[in-house]
Every structure is written in structure tokens, then in C-alpha cells.
Amino acid sequence: MPHAGLMDERELGPVEGPLLRARMHIRGGRRRLRQGKISAGVATLYDALSAALQWYLAMPKRKRLIWFNRGEDQNNDRTAYLILVRSGVLDGTFDFDAFDRLLERALQEELTGIDHRVLLIGIESVMTQLGVMPFDEASLPPEDPGTF
């Protein structure tokens, strides 16, 4: 993954670690899509989304603004997404379930014929609503092209 060897997520903690991971994976996912590595790009962007959701939910000052239901597993990506939609943080226009199905396909085969621009628009919309984007890519650790 794009963050391998470039950060120590545990050292950064439950807030800063996932934020940096999300941003690095947005950058890496975009690069992989541009290179035609669609399945790898989808998987990387999914990880970016997962990290972004966990980052948002980990912020102590936001906890009081989030509508949790008893028994919900906020560590489950789909549940975390739905919690943030229900709480009004996300507008719900991104089709998380379709993205999850696309990830399952990407993990089984190399995807072809996918318009990744549409996917990027959706992911970037969610990342903007969460406050992960925009960001200055120059502020991130330099990419290691050997990561894929």
C-alpha cells in the first residue's frame, strides 16, 4: 500500500494516523488509476475511504454530533458510512454499496472498461465532505514508486 514504510500509523495515533493514511492512499489510488492499474487503484481508494471514515469518527469533539445507535460497529466501513449519512455529515449521494461490490470484483480480477473518473468524482466528494480534501500533496511524505 502507498503508506508502507512512509509512516507509523500507531505512533501518529487514532486521529492523525488515519488522516495521513487516507491522504496518502488518495494520492496513490489516483496514480494507480492513471497508470491503468484499475483494480489496485480501487483497492487503494477503498482503503483511503475506510481510513477517512475512521479518522472522522475518532475525533473526540465530533462524537457528540454523531448519531450512534446501540450495538452499531463503527469499525465496519459500511456502518460508519451510514452513521455519517444519518448524522448529516455526508449527503448520501455516494453509492457505498456499489463501491463495496466494485472492490470485491477488484480483489478477484483485474478490472477493465471502468470509467474511473466517475469513481474519483464520488470518492473526492466524500473526502471533501469529511474534510480530508483538499490537501497539499507536497505536505505528504514522498511516494515510493516501489510500492506498486
Q: What is the pLDDT of residues 87-144, one digit of tens each?
A: 999 999 999 999 999 999 999 999 988 888 999 999 999 999 999 999 888 888 777 6
Backbone angles phi, psi at 55, to 5 degrees: -60, -50
Q: What is the pLDDT of residues 24-56, one digit of tens each?
A: 999 999 999 999 999 999 999 999 999 999 999
> CA quadruple 125, 127, 133, 139: dihedral positive or negative?
negative
Q: Which residue is listed with cell 483497492?
A: 43
Cα atoms found within 13 Å of the Cα of residue 7, Cβ hemisphere only: 21
Cα atoms found within 13 Å of the Cα of residue 54, Cβ hemisphere only: 22
Closest CA to 141 of 47, 12, 21: 21
pTM: 0.86
In degrees to the nearest 10, what's the CA dihedral of 127, 132, 135, 140?
-120
